[in-house]
Amino acid sequence: MQFSLWPNPTQPYQDVLELAGHAEATGWDGFWYADHFMPNAPDTSTPWPEAWMTLAGVGAVVPRLRLGTLVTGNTYRHPAVLAKMAATLDHITSGRVVLGLGSGWQENEHRQYGIPFYTVRERLERLEEACAVIKALFGESKADFAGRFYQLEHASLEPKPVQQPLPLLIGGGGEKRTLRITARFADAWNVWGDVATLRRKMEILDGHCAELGRDPKAIRRTAVALLFMSEDGQFLERMRNTELPQPAVIGTPEEVRETLDDYESAGVDEFIVPDFTLGQGREKIGILDRFIKEVAGR
């Protein structure tokens, strides 16, 4: 199983760049970045750099890590423009990009920037068409597409990505629509979840693959959860008894390693660690280094 890092996007670019360099030097496999424009909070004045520009800066300097968005909101950019951005970044990084894509969910940034938000159903319908558009542009010399929301007319995308194919990752766990879109189009999939959640949703994903005639092994499975790793038993017990906003892995390094073994046994190919709960500065670097050495065994 591979291990990747997801930095909090409120950090200054220089801090993100230094963190990526440290992750590259200490054996991490990938580096993911959230595609949002502001916090999902009443106060949206917190500095929040743009995701694709940040990844371009990191990718031009850091030589090995896989880079991707977790995930790009489809409503923010026309999929043909997004495909061009991803292909360009793939050349900047010599073929290390994963295009993470989701339907979009954060209402405040749509409202503030005047971006139509649509209903959940409409956003999912647009996501499905966007996947077809991106795949066509990446794979065909001239692409035509006549959809309800997007149209291509003998459209070119040059240069093509370095990778053939450049992986398209779908983010989300919606069992009826999102996982079916994943089964139809995705090279990779990501969801927040504990081991039980991952097992259940992967069974549903595999079922969609069977109905569509797709080999489920063709879809790389990635998972993300908050990390609380410590030798302080009282702290760990307090976190286990706290209602957290997202699924979490909580324990000593040995306990975390056992939990990650369970993720791998469930079929997870890559576990992504957000740094949101790891503190700042030396404290965060210390936890990341213990994780990659004692949990990942690097």
pLDDT digits (tens, 9 = 90+) for 1-13: 999 999 999 999 9
Q: Place 188 in a pLDDT band, splitting at 50, 70 and 90.
A: very high
Q: Place 168 in a pLDDT band, splitting at 50, 70 and 90.
A: very high
Average pLDDT of the segment spanning 198-220: 98
Q: What is the DSSP letter of 52?
A: H
Return the pLDDT at 262: 98
Return the pLDDT at 90: 98
Q: What is the DSSP letter of 293?
A: I
Q: Place 92 in a pLDDT band, splitting at 50, 70 and 90.
A: very high
Give the pTM.
0.96
Whether 291 and 259 have beta carbons less than 8 Å apart is answered as: no
Beta strands in the chain (DSSP E): 2-6, 30-33, 66-69, 72-73, 97-102, 143-146, 151-155, 168-171, 188-192, 220-224, 226-229, 248-251, 270-274
Instruction: Report d(CA 287, CA 298) in Å as an integer.
Output: 14
